[in-house]
Each structure stands twice: as structure tokens, then as C-alpha cells.
């Protein structure tokens, strides 16, 4: 199986000191992806672009296309100063929507500096939009919230601290589970689950906590 590898192409010095974003010149991260449609058929020729951002700047780190088997490997230097990465996929076929994975951080990579991401592209009109509004009704604080179910790949937050999701693409005719954690003034936390019914229309859901 031949895998395309696209290395960093930036006008930086060897130590990457000329870039706006700071990098560790000794450490390389690797993202390995396998891209399919919803039915599991591999998607070839899909463009991928990886960007990195910190508080002051952003850079395009790496790019490439999936091979005939839907595989792609990106190799790039590790950014410093708590920077985060965004990975975007765009198919040459108009029937597929873009896929975006954001808030990728150092914590997403394994001990060997690798992130394996098997995902799919949604077809146009295949998913619906979900918007969630969080309404505080008492003294409890909302700590985190994430969705469980058939979620589209339009915009996926890979943050490990599970910041409350406010918008997502999802497949119709299912019951999504919204897992969320609240914290009392005493510091005690409680886990909750709310059900969100999805039919064939976009959904606006309000969670009171």
C-alpha cells in the first residue's frame, strides 16, 4: 500500500525560528487517516490541509491527497506554546461536503507522536443541523458536554476537555444522547444524560441545567 507523505513547506530556518508559530525542531508528529463514505467505500483524491494556530498566528503545516485506498499520512513539526491544529478534507466530487476536525492538541497524540483518524465524508443533504442552547437555571456550572450517536463529520471538536458542543451535523431518524457534567458551588460534579430526538428536520434544542 503506497501512502503519500507531504512534509512541511514553509519559508523557515532549520530551527523554524523564522515562522510566526514556534516549533520544536526535534519532534515530528504524524497523522494517519483512512477516509471513506458513510458506507465504508474508500475515497481517493480527497485533498487534506493541516493548519496550526496559537494566540498570535497560524500556519499551513502540511497538505496532501488520499491514495486509491483512502489513506493519507501527514508528517509535521510539533508546535509549541499550546498551539492547536485543524485538519480539513475537501473532495473533488461536489456530492461530498467538507470535513473539519479542530482543537487537535498535543494530548490527542499517542506516546509515539501519532494520531490515527479513521473518518468519512458526508454527502450533500445527508446530514441535518443541530443547535444546542444551554440555559443556566440555578447555581450549578456547566463543565462539559458531548454528543453520542451518528454524528456527521462537518465540524468535529477533538478537544479532550469536551467543551460544551453548541452545533453539530447529525444523521436523521435517531435519538442522540447529550452527556453533560455540572458542578455545584461546593465543587461536587454530577453527570447527566439528555435525549435529543432527531427526525428529518434541523433541530434547535435547549438544555436547562
Counting the structural domains of the chain, the total is: 2
Q: Are residues 104 and 141 in the same domain?
A: no
22 three-state secondary structure: coil
Query: What is the rounded average pLDDT of the residues 92-105?
Result: 93
Domain C-terminal end among 87, 120, 153:
120
- The predicted structure's pLDDT at residue 81: 81
Q: Are residues 114 and 146 in the same domain?
A: no
Number of separate helices (H) and strands (E) present in the chain = 0, 15
Q: Are residues 42 and 106 in the same domain?
A: yes
User: Domain holding 27: CATH number?
Assistant: 2.60.40.1120
User: What distance in Å separates the CA atoms of residue 55 and residue 88, rounded to the nearest whole number?
Assistant: 20
Domain C-terminal end among 67, 89, 120:
120
Q: Are residues 88 and 139 in the same domain?
A: no
6-10, 82-86, 153-157, 159-163: range with lowest mean pLDDT: 6-10
Domain C-terminal end among 120, 148, 180:
120
157: phi then psi, degrees, rounded to nearest 5: -90, 115
Q: Which residue has the higher pLDDT, 12 or 22?
A: 22
pLDDT > 70 fraction of the chain, expressed in percent and rounded: 90
Q: Are residues 159 and 100 in the same domain?
A: no
Q: Would you say residue 96 has pLDDT above 60?
A: yes
- 107-138 pLDDT per residue, tens: 999 989 999 999 999 999 999 999 999 999 99
- 165-198 pLDDT per residue, tens: 888 899 999 999 999 999 999 999 999 999 999 9
> Looking at the chain, how many residues does it have?
209
Q: Are residues 171 and 144 in the same domain?
A: yes
Q: Would you say residue 14 has pLDDT above 60?
A: no
CA atoms within 13 A on the CB side of 88: 10
User: Domain holding 168: CATH number?
Assistant: 2.60.40
- The predicted structure's pLDDT at residue 55: 73
Q: Would you say residue 149 has pLDDT above 70?
A: yes
Q: Are residues 132 and 46 in the same domain?
A: no
pTM: 0.76
- 29-78 pLDDT per residue, tens: 999 999 999 999 999 999 999 999 887 778 888 999 999 999 999 999 99
- The predicted structure's pLDDT at residue 162: 64
Q: Are residues 101 and 71 in the same domain?
A: yes
Q: Are residues 91 and 145 in the same domain?
A: no
Domain extent at residue 183? 128-208
Q: Are residues 106 and 136 in the same domain?
A: no
Q: Are residues 87 and 136 in the same domain?
A: no
Q: Are residues 71 and 37 in the same domain?
A: yes
Amino acid at each position: 500500500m503506497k501512502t503519500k507523505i507531504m512534509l512541511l513547506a514553509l519559508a523557515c530556518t532549520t530551527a523554524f525560528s523564522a515562522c510566526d508559530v514556534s516549533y520544536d525542531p526535534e519532534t515530528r508528529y504524524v497523522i494517519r487517516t483512512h477516509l471513506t463514505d458513510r458506507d465504508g467505500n474508500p475515497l481517493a483524491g480527497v485533498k487534506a490541509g493541516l493548519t496550526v494556530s496559537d494566540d498570535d498566528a497560524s500556519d499551513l503545516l502540511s497538505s496532501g491527497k488520499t491514495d486509491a485506498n483512502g489513506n493519507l499520512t501527514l508528517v509535521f513539526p510539533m508546535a509549541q506554546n499550546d498551539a492547536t491544529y485543524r485538519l480539513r478534507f475537501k473532495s473533488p466530487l461536489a456530492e461530498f461536503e467538507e470535513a473539519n476536525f479542530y482543537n487537535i492538541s498535543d494530548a490527542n497524540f499517542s506516546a509515539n507522536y501519532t494520531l490515527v483518524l479513521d473518518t468519512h465524508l458526508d454527502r450533500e443533504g445527508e446530514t441535518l443541523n443541530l443547535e444546542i442552547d444551554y440555559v443556566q437555571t440555578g447555581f450549578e456550572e456547566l463543565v462539559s458536554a458531548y454528543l453520542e450517536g451518528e454524528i456527521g463529520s462537518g465540524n468535529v471538536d477533538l478537544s479532550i476537555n469536551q467543551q460544551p458542543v453548541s452545533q453539530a451535523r447529525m444523521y436523521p431518524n435517531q435519538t442522540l444522547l447529550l452527556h453533560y457534567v455540572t458542578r455545584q458551588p461546593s465543587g461536587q460534579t454530577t453527570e447527566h444524560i439528555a435525549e435529543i430526538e432527531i427526525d428529518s428536520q434541523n433541530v434547535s434544542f435547549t438544555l436547562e441545567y
